């Protein structure tokens, strides 16, 4: 079964002559282990599509299925739970909780899912250590570099072992090298654990990590190509960390 | 999908972290709540203290019933005057063990330009009625031309033992200090029966009769037999204490209610504003939480728990201050008689928590409108 199945989905903002057709009859299936890079010009509807897949926005037409389940029939509380259990989110602006340390930020989805504090701490710590952040557990976001923040965000997105990770421009607020390294790290981690990833990015170099590259223009899915998928999924790439 | 209940601990964890992060804001909200708790608790304590005080002397007077002139329910409002001949009627009532006259009335005199109110009681040694509850200094029993006043008045108005005071055209020498008869606007004072009769101008009359009932007699029946005389009422001791306490209630309840409302308004405003500004500032973070799967209900919990936690801290501080300040103030200002009961501490706590919950309503409404899709916008 597909992790995500987008079926002929459209999204219109506004009404009448000011209406904007942001996503125009898009269909897309994503399987476990897929790494999908979504590219396209600014304003082409990438974020809108990602929001609909992430159940943060409902389509004007068409259906989105998550693990075969039509999400339009789910209640707000059920959607929350779905996002908590099945999705990981990585944002352009990191969006860590400023009052919580790196470790606590990663613990948050676990605690929300009902995991005990002790267990959550162990898991968060292990996850951050895997991302080479073992020495930054107790730091608040304001004391972390951009690359470190994004790695904490990646650890948070992976906390509840989601099937699908949605990342919108994860590199945009980082310098080119750091951005690329962090995103490759995300792809590798996901790939190793057979999770699906959808990354929206302008960064051409991420083609090396992607299995599939799709392009969206004016809300339409125009091309789909294979990526290089040049990842060391079983072994660490050894690239310098940000 | 794994089904779990709402993990309250996770939200409390975040609530506490959010509070601690904003120390200034936390201080303001804790301080605001502490102030309102201090205000409410001190006023309530004073009210309770005064209410008790007024009954304190009356409780020491030995009587099962206070017999009054019909319509008089307490010592202060409606005057009660009964001819001494009523005594014969009372002692003749079946079940009555004794009936003793009790005379007392309020008189005022000027002392150094200040009105001093005394409630002069006839200390009837013969009948063993009208003695001070406790004498702490000087004579325990006044002699002719002497008066025993309350130590609180003596000390605060600087009227010493040996001084003379003008009372209703007479001059009486202060012979002793008693305790436990100080009630806000006046205090009990004790003169001999003869002096009291001339001051109170009650020839052949008294104000009340104190009736005791024979052992094993049903008290209610005695009361109805006494009240067969339409000129008198028989009021149980407890009832009489309560009626007198109502004086404090009538005078101060409106003031207390106003101060209570001010306290609540201050507490709610401070906590409401701090929690509201905090929620607005963290709107984006709440959006992120929504996006990553925290339900609306859980988010509300975070906000309410922040408000309640700050309120509970404020309560602890305010209640602690109220106890300390009341005790300290009582040492220096004798009028400051307070009693903080567990019951009052309890309802004030409930009011404080309710205050926090109500102040969270506005921020919670705001939370409901946060669109989690916004978190993808830079
Ligand atoms: N909430 C909204 N209300 C109205 N119009 C919107 C809204 N969100 C997006 N749009 C419009 O929909 C279109 C697609 O926007 P979207 O953000 O999905 O583009 P994008 O491909 O992510 O662009 P970028 O690369 O700049 O992030 C744009 O024209 C945008 O102005
Ligand atoms: Mg976008």
SS (H, E, C) chain A: CCCEEEEEEEEEECCHHHCEEEEEEEEEEECCCCEEEEECCCCCCHHHHHHHHCCCCCCCEEEEEECCEEHHHCCHHHHHHHHHHHEEEECCCCCCCCCCCHHHHHHHHHHHCCCCHHHHHHHHHHHHHHCCCHHHCCCCHHHCCHHHHHHHHHHHHHCCCCCEEEEECCCCCCCHHHHHHHHHHHHHHHHHCCCEEEEECCCHHHHHCCCEEEEEECCEEEEEEECCCCCCCCCCCCCCCC
- For the stretch B57-100, pLDDT in tens is 888 888 999 999 998 988 887 789 999 999 999 999 988 999 99
Is the residue at A68 inside a domain? yes
What are the residue ranges spanned by the domains of chain B? 8-55+247-376, 58-240
Nearest CA in chain B to A88: B292
Query: pLDDT tens digits for B292-331?
Result: 999 999 999 999 999 999 999 999 999 999 999 999 988 8
Residue A180 lies in a domain: yes
Using an 8 Å CB-CB cutoff, list chain A residues near B373. Answer: 51, 56-57
Between the CA of residue B366 and those of A33, B21, B361, what are the distances in Å?
Answer: 39, 21, 9
- The CATH number of the domain holding residue A202 is 3.40.50.300
d(CA A211, CA A209): 7
Cα of A107 to nearest chain B Cα, Å: 9
B8 has a chain A CB within 8 A of its CB: no
Residue contact B7–A81, C-beta within 8 A: no
User: CA of B257 to nearest chain A CA: how many angstroms apart?
Assistant: 40
| d(C-alpha A130, C-alpha A125), whole Å | 9
Residue B157, classed as helix, strand or coil, is coil
Helix (H) or strand (E) holding B95: none
Please indicate, yes or no, if residue A240 is contained in any of the structural domains.
no
Residue at A186 is within a domain: yes
**Average model confidence (pLDDT) across chain B:** 89
User: Per the structure, how many domains does chain A have?
Assistant: 1
CB-based contact A110:B321 (threshold 8 Å): no
* Whether B368 contacts chain A with CB within 8 A: no
Distance of CA A9 to the CA centre of its chain: 20
Per-residue pLDDT, averaged over B209-226, amounts to 86
Task: Please indicate if any CB of chain B lies within 8 Å of the CB of A142.
Answer: no
- Report yes or no on A231 lying in a domain: no
* Residue range of the domain that includes A40: 4-226
Query: B95 or B337, which is more confident?
Result: B95
Cβ atoms B13, B302 nearer than 8 A:
no
Q: What is the mean pLDDT of residues B46-66?
A: 85
Does residue A234 sit within a domain? no
A242 within domain boundaries: no
- Spell out which residues of chain B touch residue A82, defining contact as CB-CB under 8 Å: 1, 293
**pLDDT of B130 strictly over 70:** yes
- Find the closest chain B residue to A168 by CA distance: B376
Cα distance between residue B145 and residue B128, in whole Å? 19
Give yes or no for residue B141 having a pLDDT over 80: yes
Is the pLDDT reported for residue A195 higher than 70? yes
Nearest to A155 by CA among A205, A190, A179, A180: A190
Lookup: tokens for B236: 């149980």
Atom of ligand 1 lying closest to residue A44 CA: 21
CB-defined site of ligand 1, < 6 Å: A 13-14, 20, 22, 40, 42-48
**pLDDT above 60 for B7:** no
Q: Which residues pair with B334 in a beta bridge?
A: none
Give ipTM to 2 decimals: 0.92
């Amino acid at each position: 079964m597909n992790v995500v199945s987008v079926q002929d989905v459209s999204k219109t903002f506004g009404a009448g002559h000011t209406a904007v057709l942001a996503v125009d009859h898009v269909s897309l299936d994503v399987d476990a282990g897929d790494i999908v890079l979504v590219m396209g010009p600014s304003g082409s509807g990438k974020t809108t599509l990602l929001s609909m897949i992430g159940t943060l926005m409902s389509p004007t037409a068409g259906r989105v299925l998550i693990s075969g389940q039509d999400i339009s029939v789910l209640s707000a509380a059920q959607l929350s739970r779905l996002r908590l259990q099945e999705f990981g989110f990585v944002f352009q602006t990191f969006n860590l909780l400023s009052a919580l340390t790196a470790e606590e930020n990663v613990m948050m989805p676990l605690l929300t899912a009902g995991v005990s504090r002790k267990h959550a701490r162990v898991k968060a710590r292990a996850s951050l250590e895997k991302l080479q952040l073992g020495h930054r557990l107790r730091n608040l976001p304001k004391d972390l570099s951009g690359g470190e923040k994004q790695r904490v965000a990646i650890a948070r997105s992976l906390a509840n072992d989601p099937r699908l990770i949605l990342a919108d421009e994860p590199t945009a607020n980082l310098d080119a090298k750091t951005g690329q390294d962090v995103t490759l790290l995300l792809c590798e981690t996901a790939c190793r654990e057979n999770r699906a990833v959808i990354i929206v990015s302008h960064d051409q170099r991420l083609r090396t990590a992607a299995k599939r590259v799709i392009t969206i223009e004016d809300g339409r899915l125009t091309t789909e190509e294979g990526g290089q998928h040049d990842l060391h999924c079983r072994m660490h790439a050894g690239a310098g960390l940000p | 999908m794994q089904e779990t209940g709402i993990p309250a601990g996770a939200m409390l964890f975040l609530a506490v972290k959010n509070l601690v992060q904003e120390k200034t804001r936390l201080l303001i909200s804790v301080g605001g709540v502490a102030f309102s708790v201090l205000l409410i608790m001190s006023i309530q304590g004073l009210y309770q203290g005064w209410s008790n005080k007024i009954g304190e002397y009356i409780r020491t007077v030995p009587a099962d019933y206070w017999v009054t002139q019909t319509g008089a329910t307490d010592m202060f409002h409606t005057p009660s005057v009964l001819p001494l001949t009523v005594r014969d009627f009372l002692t003749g009532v079946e079940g009555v063990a004794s009936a003793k006259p009790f005379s007392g009335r309020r008189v005022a005199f000027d002392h150094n330009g200040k009105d001093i109110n005394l409630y002069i009681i006839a200390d009837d040694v013969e009948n063993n009625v009208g003695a001070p509850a406790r004498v702490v200094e000087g004579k325990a029993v006044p002699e002719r031309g002497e008066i025993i006043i309350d130590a609180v008045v003596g000390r605060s108005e600087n009227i010493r033992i040996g001084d003379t005071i003008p009372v209703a055209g007479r001059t009486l020498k202060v012979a002793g200090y008693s305790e436990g008869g100080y009630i806000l606007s006046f205090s009990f004072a004790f003169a001999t029966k003869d002096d009291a009769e001339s001051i109170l101008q009650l020839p052949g009359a008294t104000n009340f009769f104190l009736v005791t009932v024979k052992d094993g007699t049903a008290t209610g029946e005695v009361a109805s037999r006494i009240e067969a005389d339409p000129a008198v009422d028989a009021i149980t001791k407890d009832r009489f204490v309560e009626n007198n306490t109502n004086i404090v209630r009538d005078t101060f309840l409106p003031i207390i209610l106003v101060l209570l409302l001010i306290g609540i308004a201050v507490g709610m405003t401070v906590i409401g504003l701090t929690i509201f500004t905090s929620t607005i500032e963290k709107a984006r973070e709440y959006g992120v939480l929504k996006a990553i799967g925290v339900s609306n209900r859980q988010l509300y919990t975070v906000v309410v728990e922040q408000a309640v936690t700050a309120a509970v801290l404020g309560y602890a501080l305010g209640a602690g201050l109220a106890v300390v300040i009341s005790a300290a103030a009582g040492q220096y200002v004798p009028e400051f008689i307070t009693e903080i009961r567990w019951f009052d501490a309890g309802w004030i706590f409930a009011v404080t928590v309710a205050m926090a919950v109500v102040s969270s309503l506005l921020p919670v409404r705001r939370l409901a409108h946060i669109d989690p899709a916004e978190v993808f916008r830079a």
